């Protein structure tokens, strides 16, 4: 009887542990997803800014070439 009881409690603790893992896993996955979207937004912003900077540099260089030429 004691062995049966231990098996039953072990099953309960296992299932509760599994439930807890699933429960804890959800917010972690959400956080990871949020972090990746933040990273993607940051990368897009950096690309936009670098594109603008590149355009400004090209504009300045063409002005310098026209002025010196």
pLDDT tens figures, 2-61: 555 556 677 777 888 877 777 776 776 777 778 888 888 888 999 999 999 999 999 999
Q: How high is the pLDDT of residue 1?
A: 47
Give 28-68 as a DSSP string.
Answer: HHHHHHHHHHHHHHHHHHHHHHHHHHHHHHHHHHHHHHHHH
CA distance 67 to 56: 16
This prediction's pTM = 0.44
Q: How high is the pLDDT of residue 5?
A: 52
Q: How high is the pLDDT of residue 59?
A: 92
Residue whose structure tokens are 């062995």? 3
């Amino acid at each position: 009887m004691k062995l049966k009881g231990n098996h039953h409690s072990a099953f309960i603790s296992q299932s509760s542990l599994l439930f807890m893992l699933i429960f804890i896993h959800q917010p972690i996955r959400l956080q990871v997803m949020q972090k990746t979207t933040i990273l993607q937004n940051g990368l897009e912003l950096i690309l936009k800014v670098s594109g603008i900077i590149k355009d400004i540099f090209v504009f300045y260089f063409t002005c310098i070439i026209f002025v010196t030429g």
